[in-house]
Structure 1
């Protein structure tokens, strides 16, 4: 792969195909990402997974429109974070479509940037939550119809539940016997679907990030301040409750999302409180009272949804999420559903944060 990138991809971006160094970057589940260093020039090069993003041109054009909007906000001093910008090919295109050899794009590399995989301090949750809220606030005046949906029904819990039901019924890889109890539990949570439907009927649709994990916010390694929001691939019209919910889901456990130490997996209330306060503060003047109330539903929905998605992928043979060992997706599913159970146990106390 590295040699192919050097010989075929780098020249298209005007980079030295002999002396440039290439290394893998990040821990994304979907795309392949590389850091390319050519002398003093650094870029992030990605091969977009066209099995997941079947219209990759839309992914690139969405990101470019959002980048332009945020740059304009930055010039008006209404957006304080750095903006990830696309890097054009020598031909002036924002992507390189090599068909069977992959769909490629390049973006800026931000110097001194650093990502973390796990929230270990409430200050980290607070900083990232404020940054994601600030990102959402900056996009609040961008029409939701101005970008394309790149994955249909991406954050549709009823649809995800139906996919799990189908996977259970089919059991194509004879794996149900290893996870039947977890599947039955996930499929029993139908009351949440009714709550979601009630809120979605009343909430405004906004452009959302839709993948607000802690490693999609860049920290400045020099002082751990917030630098930039990255990975705009799933930016689509949606609801703030899902962005917030995915963020808190990713922040709140002291264990990684594939940890098998389930006795240590739980939703930390102090992290949820810090993230909530910071996110709502960043969206002051934008978020409505009903949207604030919906944030709690979003935490539960996104935690359950990711557990369902991991479990479905496991039952269907691991065709979506990259795995490192045969039970990886099952372990991820158990982890997320354990967080979900912890959220339900703490609901009487935590729900007060969203009054």
Structure 2
């Protein structure tokens, strides 16, 4: 099909003929070039450029890490269902479906991904031109715009039947489950002989056991509805227009599944409104930036506010604390287990991360009344 053979080094171990993968997908035009693209740590990504009628078209091709995501069928079913639903909503609201959501491409066999003879799985989607992403939060304005994007994501998907999606990671934000089934067993087993070195942090977690149950119990009471959630609401998962700097598209949909809108809001605040990096060991400087919190909340609620119920709105501030606490508990659990999950750069890296997150939790507890008032002022 192609008059060019494009070879790329893959993990510096062998050369793969990426064109063999490209020709499985229903791309338009003639292949011009293909290169390794992006800096993601989970999936291997390529950017393929085609020429059709003199115009350049770009496609992103990814080898999905099936060690992380073994149920590729469920993952891709979720992604296709959500993006096709979003496309219709964007059109209904006068938006641009080519820029405001990812457009996944089927194979020539009409499949949602291609599986090669080695069992490796590849998927493809259209590249969003004239866009950029930010890795760090450098201003309240940019953070607020990302809140607007994730709020719009919630608004457009508010009437999507979330129960039809597969749960890609079981009990991902079930905080009480993580406490009872991961944290407590880790402390009891003390496999890496580290419990004695983090007794204060263990007490910190145990004293907040009741917090772990709050949102789960509200789900059981029917006060918090299951919604479509993104579950990785970092700033770099929003694309911004290269010229206007407006947030246009939410990306990285691998963990889209049923959950709470509060999970996405809270994790955004945990990541973006921390005055320090999450592994900064100067814990006295770890504070929640209330200006960033307010900017994000305004952006998020300007889009999602009308779709949320009162219980969701009332728990937005708490969700920021809970998601930060849960993340810290996961770091501490991994430290106690001997660093078997998160990548670390030095022996106490996970403990430092946990202490950092717990310092942020403590500051949020001190400022919870202010955070709740900010939400009330917006709504």
Settle same-fold status: TM greater than 0.5.
yes
**Whole-angstrom distance in 2 between the partners of 1:264 and 1:334:** 12
* CA drift at 1:135: 0.6
**Whole-angstrom distance in 1 between the partners of 2:125 and 2:341:** 24
* CA drift at 1:96: 2.9
Provide structure 2 residue ranges, at least 5 long, that are not aligned to the other structure: 1-9, 25-29, 51-55
Match of 1:241 among 257, 262, 269: 262
* CA drift at 1:285: 2.5
1:345 equivalent in structure 2: 366
Change in Cα spacing, 1:171 to 1:95, as seen in structure 2 (3 Å) is: farther
Change in Cα spacing, 1:5 to 1:72, as seen in structure 2 (3 Å) is: farther
Q: Deviations over 1:139-187 (max 9, x none)?
A: 0111112211111111100011121111121222233344332233123
**Whole-angstrom distance in 2 between the partners of 1:180 and 1:91:** 57
Match of 2:324 among 291, 297, 303: 303
Change in Cα spacing, 1:295 to 1:312, as seen in structure 2 (3 Å) is: same
TM-score by length of 1: 0.89
| 2:84 aligned with 1:68 | yes
| Higher deviation after alignment, 246-255 or 101-110 | 101-110
Matches within 5 A, 1:3-82: 7-14=16-23, 20-23=34-37, 25-28=38-41, 31-38=42-49, 40-77=56-93, 82=100
Change in Cα spacing, 1:271 to 1:205, as seen in structure 2 (3 Å) is: same
* CA drift at 1:277: 1.8
* CA drift at 1:232: 1.1
| 2:279 aligned with 1:279 | no
2:53 equivalent in structure 1: none
Change in Cα spacing, 1:136 to 1:10, as seen in structure 2 (3 Å) is: farther
1:155 equivalent in structure 2: 173
Greater Rg by CA: 2
* CA drift at 1:343: 0.5
Match of 1:123 among 134, 141, 151: 141
Tell me if the contact between 1:241 and 1:296 (Cα under 8 Å) persists in the aligned partners. no
1:266 equivalent in structure 2: 287
Change in Cα spacing, 1:77 to 1:5, as seen in structure 2 (3 Å) is: farther
Q: Deviations over 1:161-219 (max 9, x none)?
A: 12111112122223334433223312321131343244322112111112211111112
Structure with higher RCO (Cα < 8 A, 6+ apart) = 1
Tell me if the contact between 1:125 and 1:251 (Cα under 8 Å) persists in the aligned partners. yes
**Whole-angstrom distance in 1 between the partners of 2:73 and 2:13:** 22
**Whole-angstrom distance in 1 between the partners of 2:201 and 2:216:** 24
Change in Cα spacing, 1:332 to 1:89, as seen in structure 2 (3 Å) is: farther
Change in Cα spacing, 1:345 to 1:235, as seen in structure 2 (3 Å) is: same
**Whole-angstrom distance in 2 between the partners of 1:294 and 1:68:** 30
1:250 equivalent in structure 2: 271
SS across alignment from 1:149 = coil
**Whole-angstrom distance in 1 between the partners of 2:352 and 2:114:** 36
The count of corresponding residues between Structure 1 and Structure 2 is: 352
| Higher deviation after alignment, 176-185 or 237-246 | 176-185
| 2:187 aligned with 1:168 | yes
User: For the aligned residues, what is the CA RMSD?
Assistant: 2.6
Provide structure 1 residue ranges, at least 5 long, that are not aligned to the other structure: none
SS across alignment from 1:45 = strand
**Whole-angstrom distance in 2 between the partners of 1:312 and 1:258:** 16
* CA drift at 1:62: 0.4
**Whole-angstrom distance in 2 between the partners of 1:6 and 1:276:** 47
TM-score by length of 2: 0.84
**Whole-angstrom distance in 1 between the partners of 2:299 and 2:32:** 46
